[in-house]
Structures are given as C-alpha cells and as structure tokens.
Structure 1
Amino acid sequence: MAVELKTGRKGSGSLVAKVEQSLRDAILAGNYAPGDRLPSEIELTETHGVSRTVVREAVTALRCDGWVDVRQGAGIFVLDRSTIPQKSETLDGARLASDLEVLEVRTPLEIEAAGLAALRRSPAQEELIFDCHAAVLRCINENRSIREADLALHLAIAAATNNPLFTQFLEQQGQHAIPQSKVVAEHQNDEQTAYRRLIHKEHEAVVLAISDADDRAARLAMQNHLRGSQLRYRDLLRAARGLERSFP
C-alpha cells in the first residue's frame, strides 16, 4: 500500500520523485502484477496528498522507464518486468527534450555556483564536497545508480556558495534535476560503467578547482560538464528522430 505523502512546502520535483518511488515499490512488492491497472489519477492524488500534475509527472516517468503503459480512456497498466530492458533502449523524444530543458536552465546557474563555491566554501563545505564525490565513485564500483549521489554532489556545491537560492533551485527540481533518460541501456554494463566514470571524471575537475579556490577553473569545469551533458542528450534526441550528427 502506498504511503501517504503531504504537499507541505517541498518542491514539486521532490514530490514527483516520492510518488514515483512509492509506485515502483508497490509494483516490486507485488501489490500490482503485470497487466493490473493502477489506481486512477484521482485516487492517486487522494492517496498521496498531491496535485494531479505531480501524479501525471510521476506516471510519465514510470512510463518512460518501461514500468507502466498509459491507455487513453482505460487507465494505467503495469507492464511485464521482463520487457523493461528492451523498452529502456527505446528513446522517448519528449522525455529527452524535457531533460535538455532542465540541463539548459541548470547550466548558467551552476557555472556561477561553481565559481562562487571556489571563493566562498568553508573547510567543512569543502570536505562535504569531497565526501559526495567519493560517494559517486562508490556507486560506480558497486554497479549502482549514481543519480542520487550525483544530485547530492551538485547540492553540496550549491550550498558552498552560501547563497541559499542556488540550493533552493536544485531542491525544487529534486531528482529530476538529474536527467533520467538512459544514455546507455541498463543491461549494457560495460558501456554504462564507462559512461558513469566519464561523469565522475568531469565532476573531479570541478571538485579540484573548488578545492584550489580557482573560481575561473571551477566555472570552466562545470561548463564543460553540463554542456557535455547537453551534447550527449542532443545526440540521443537526434537518434530518436532518426538523425545523426554531421561532423565537419
């Protein structure tokens, strides 16, 4: 049974992530078998104490990850778990475009945040940034998703600006600040690990520049990281539409 959530003052991104995870947990627990219909949108809003927009975004995330199928006029149906690896390879253009929009908004803000963090971070904040960076590597070595650790690192950098608005922006986005679209299919372990190590290396350049109090290098490293992410997702969007990048 899903745990009731309250809207409170948390950002919509955080609520979406909680509703999404609650539904995933219910499916994994066997509360809903393949082919079963989930509660209606109205029932989900009442159960979780959130808006219909939050429910729709959570369901959209599950649909894009291959957990459910939304049938117009019929409802939301649980898909067979054995089909999820195949579905993860199907690129969803709308989802990719949404990921790009988030990255485009994050880029100028986090470039500035990295520079300010290099100038303003306290010793305790610097240590937390190192800890978060190490947590990403642990996830990679244990073959676990780096999404949560990735967000924690970016939040630690934002906090080191000592301007709460940078942190508030990321908190409002919640885990959706970190794109969910699969650059590499989940079952392609070697490729996935290589991709995660690339992200870790890009993070490392940011972290070291902040530690060195080099605001210029920190801004450049964050720019390279986030604009590199934009390029990767634009390549995916082109692939989803049957286009390929043209090289000079």
Structure 2
Amino acid sequence: MSEALRPMARPRLYEQVVERLRQYAAEDGLGAGDRLPAERELAQRLGVSRASVKQAIVVLEVQGLVEVRHGGGTYLVRDTLDAAEPVERLVERRRRLPDVLEAREAMETKLAELAARRRTDADLAALDDALAHMAKDVEDGGPGVEGDRRFHAAVTAAAHSALLAEFMRSIAEQIGESRNESLRQPGRPKRSLAQHRRILDAVRAGDPKAAAAAMRRHLRTVAEVRLLTWTPEAEEGGTEGDDGADGGPEE
C-alpha cells in the first residue's frame, strides 16, 4: 500500500490543551511570574478532563516554560509559552530516555570502579577542575551543565579503557540530553554536585566498590526526571467535570 495512504495521526487532547494555554497566555499578556488558573478551573473552562490538563502542564514544565509549585499552582517562567522544542520531538526524547539511562548506569558504574583502580595524579587533577567549574556555575545560579559534562568525561578518562570510552562517545548526544533533563529539575544541580564529590572521594581513596556504588546512586538520581512521569501514549478522554486519574490535592 502507498505510504501516502497510511493512517493519519490525530492531535492528542493534551496537545490541543497546550495550544489553548499558549493562546491564553498571549491574549491575556501573561509574563514570567504570572500564575495560570488552577487545573480544575482549566478543565472546566476547556471542557476536558483534569488528566488532559495535567498532561499539558507536564509538557510545558519539561519544556522549561512553567514551574509547578506543590500546593501553590503553576507559574510562567518566561514571558511566553511558545516553545523551541516541538511536542513530537519531546515524545521521541521521552521514548528513548529510559534506554539511555540504563546504558549510562551499566557503563558509568564500571567506569567509576575502574577509575578508582587506575587513576593517576593527572586524572585526579582533571576531576578536581571539573568539580570546581561546576561548583562555580551552581553558586552563580546556573545548572552546572558544562562542569557535569567535564566531570563524567574525566571519570571516563581516568578508567583508561579505550573501548568503554568509545562506547561513551557513541552515545554522547543522548547522554547530553539526559544531563540537561536532570539538571533542570528543581534543586538538582546542588544535589548532583554533592554526589560528584562523593564519587571523587571514592576514586581518590582508590576504593572501587565505593566508587561504583556512589556512581550508581548518582545515576539513579539522574533518572528521577519529570519527563518520565509523562505518558504521551496514554488514552485520554473525559468531559467537563471529569477529574480523570488525578488523586492529588486541588490547587
């Protein structure tokens, strides 16, 4: 059958909600710091379930456009809800992220173990430099992305395993995505920096078991991201007044 006659994709309900929220923010002149209406109100006014509204809010949150404060509502981070990243790309990133995180835990835990066995003074200096760079950025209010990248690259170099280093280079782009996703979580840069210090302490002490354990704990924190709570494939339905599968407190 011709590819042109394949089934046509229909916009999911949450995608339509996202577009309506963007229009609302633009028409009402909302800017950074302004609050969106409560989820129940949005659901009632739009005639959709709260589940659909929640999906839309997660999309905006993951795109870095809103901040959700537990029990305090949803606030714009910028002066617009227009996004640089299309929802389709976000969906694709959501689908591949679990595989990337699984690969990172498998490889980087071993790299930390090897680094504790094989590190040189030069390797330790590189790790110290990476941590100092990240600490400065975090202290200045930044996410610490470049320092994080340097730290994990220094651990890889300290392992002195050419093949594992090649594997890491082959998924560098996907690792970068997972890094950015993790470090945009509230409070994550400082937590990540502290975990890096524990990894370095174990590597410096020449303790392979402790280094592997510290890296594993760190990467499991990296996996705690808002994007993975979003289920874009879920069936959506419901009409006005339908609370969906919420279960959370009303704003």
TM-score class, shorter-chain normalisation, is: 0.5 to 0.7
Measured after TM superposition, the shift of residue 95 of structure 1 is 1.5
Moved over 6 A (4+): 85-88, 242-245
User: Counterpart of 2:171 in 1: which secondary structure?
Assistant: helix
Instruction: Answer yes or no: is 1:237 the counterpart of 2:237.
Output: no
Corresponding residue number in structure 1 for 2:90? 92
Amino acid at match of 1:238: T
CA distance in 2, matches of 1:130, 1:216: 21
Q: CA deviation at 1:143?
A: 2.5
Task: Verify the 8 A CA contact 2:183 2:189 in the aligned structure 1.
Answer: no
Counterpart CA distance in 2 for 1:128 and 1:167 is: 16
Which amino acid is 1:223 matched to? Answer: R
Distance 2:246 2:194 in 1: 26
Deviation at 1:145, TM superposition (A): 3.6
Match of 2:219 in 1: 226
Gaps of 5+ in 1: 1-63, 67-80, 186-190
CA distance in 1 between counterparts of 2:116 and 2:98 reads: 26
Amino acid at match of 1:83: T
> Could you tell me which residue of structure 2 aligns to residue 157 of structure 1?
155
1:65–1:84 contact (8 Å) kept in structure 2: no
| 1:83 and 2:80 correspond | yes
Structure 1 residue 137 displacement after superposition? 1.0
Question: Percent same amino acid at aligned positions?
Answer: 24
Match 1:176 to one of 171, 174, 177 = 174
Structure 1 pair 240/198, CA: closer, same or farther in 2 (3 Å)?
Answer: farther
Per-residue deviation, 1:100: 2.2
- Structure 2 unaligned segments of length 5 or more: list them: 1-61, 65-77, 235-244
Measure, in 2, the Cα distance between the counterparts of 1:239 and 1:102: 17
- Distance in 2, matches of 1:154 and 1:183, equals 14
Give the Å deviation of 1:236. 3.3
- Decide whether the 8 Å contact of 1:117 with 1:158 is kept in 2: yes
Q: Secondary structure at the match of 1:83?
A: coil
Residue 211, structure 1, aligned to residue 225, structure 2: no
Count residues in correspondence. Answer: 160
Match in the other structure for 1:147:
145
Distance 1:84 1:135 in 2: 32
